[in-house]
Amino acid sequence: MKNTDNPDDVISRLIQWAEQRDSIRAMLLTSTRAVPNTPMDQYSDYDVVLIVKDIHPFFDDRSWLEDFGEVLVAYWDPIDFDPDYSIENVANVIQYADGLKIDFTLWPVELMRRIVQAPTLMAELDAGYRVLMDKDHLTDDLQSPTYKAYIPTPPTNDVYQKTIEDFFSDAPYVAKCLSRGELFPTKWCLDYDMKHVFLRPMLEWRVEIDHGWTIPVGALGKGLKKRLSPEIWSQLEDAYVGADIADNWEALFRTMTLFRKVAMEVGEALGYAYPQDLDERVVGYVKKMQHQDD
């Protein structure tokens, strides 16, 4: 299902809706749709911050969500205290049946005031925002976004080395799980821990090297395919397989091969030495485990 709504129409509906409710004092648009020249498509979310008198009525009675269409499914965070300001806030993710997706964040007015008074702009807003509506001039003194939030900085040598060590520390565990025929822990460690936690940052650093550390990273690796070379992306695709144990042994070695290639390129660009001895020790150990029952 694609969202066929015109973005300007959606924004107009949001503003009109908020203006008619006294409990809503201001409204911001954040994330992708608030950043100039950012690629978007029909699947791009609307990330909306509602600044309200009290977040609890919105949390307790959720019928207001249906003002924008039939709710297909909704996820709500629990009400929690902001770690920087110790003020309650809450957020949700709403998928509508017609394809529209709106992520609402609810802030009390006092939280907005504290954010305006802070010496630096919080990352969510510094990445980009638009004031859609403000009845009380709460945002008049809000700092302008620099659009630099979420742009990685070059890792230190310690961070680089630890990322490599942690990546290779997973490989023997994957080999053990494969030897036991344990699919669940294999997939968690190989496809999440090794690829998402350690390989993905290395891939993002590789992208930043090519772009002078100016590109914001997308959540969960979004946008990487367009920014990596076709060769690297093809190797990444080859590192994903199904449930067959033999295929997953191959995927483990392909994942290590790709990580090695990218990590060596990152290390060379940053002047860091790649720990080849660690790599060889772990790969040799994993190969022995693969063939221990031959």
The 10s digit of each residue's pLDDT in 30-47 is: 998 998 877 778 888 999
**Contact criterion met (CB below 8 Å) for 10 and 46:** yes
| Average pLDDT value for residue range 242-271 | 98
pLDDT tens for each residue of 21-30: 999 999 999 9
Question: Number of C-alpha atoms within 13 angstroms, CB side, residue 281?
Answer: 7
Q: Where are the domains of the chain?
A: 7-134, 157-290
**Confidence (pLDDT) at 41:** 80
Query: Is residue 4's pLDDT more than 70?
Result: no
This prediction's pTM: 0.86
Structure tokens given for 215: 């590109």
The label of the residue with tokens 């900085």 reads 153
| Average pLDDT value for residue range 63-70 | 97
**Confidence (pLDDT) at 1:** 43
Question: Could you tell me which CATH class the domain 7-134 is placed in?
Answer: alpha beta
**Confidence (pLDDT) at 293:** 61
The reply to whether 7-134 and 157-290 are identical in fold is: no
Query: Is residue 105's pLDDT more than 70?
Result: yes
Fold that domain 157-290 belongs to in CATH: Four Helix Bundle (Hemerythrin (Met), subunit A) (1.20.120)
Long-range contacts of 83-90 (CB under 8 A, 24+ apart): 84/118, 84/122, 85/111, 85/114, 85/115, 87/111, 87/114, 88/55, 89/55, 90/55, 90/58, 90/59
| Arithmetic mean of pLDDT over the chain | 94
What percent of the chain is predicted at pLDDT more than 90? 88
